[in-house]
């Protein structure tokens, strides 16, 4: 499993090209982020504040250096947190 921790980079929609790149859906209902160990970006459903139940991550509202809760787990690929714009491996 990948244990890499990296800084993220906010990019425009359609420009998520490398690990650590992210952008938001127009309505801020999803963050599209390329996490370590993956071959492309993943869509993570978010809401401002606390997590909204299963499969909805809490988001701190920061669009430049976001924090999500709980951790992000791609089984067999990567497990960690998005904290203040940094993907931090477990």
Q: Assess whether the previous peptide bond of 70 is cis (omega < 30° from 0).
A: yes
Neighbouring-strand partners of residue 88 = 81
Evaluate if residue 1 carries a pLDDT over 80: no
Q: Token pair of 71, please?
A: 């951790």
Q: Is the pTM here over 0.85, yes or no?
A: yes
Cβ-contact 82, 73 below 8 angstroms? no
DSSP string, 21-32: EEEE-TTSSEEE
pLDDT per residue over 17-72, tens digit each? 999 999 999 999 999 999 999 999 999 999 999 999 889 999 999 999 999 999 99
E strands, the chain, are: 6-7, 9-10, 21-24, 30-33, 42-48, 57-59, 68-69, 72-74, 78-83, 86-89
């Amino acid at each position: 499993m990948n244990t890499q921790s990296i800084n993220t980079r906010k990019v425009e929609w359609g420009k998520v090209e490398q690990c650590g790149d992210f952008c938001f859906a127009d309505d801020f209902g999803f963050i599209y982020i390329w996490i370590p160990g993956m071959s492309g970006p993943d869509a993570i459903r978010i809401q401002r504040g606390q997590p909204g139940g299963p499969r909805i991550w809490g988001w701190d509202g920061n669009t430049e250096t976001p924090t999500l809760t709980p951790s992000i787990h791609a089984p067999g690929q990567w497990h960690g947190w998005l904290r203040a714009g940094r993907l931090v491996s477990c």
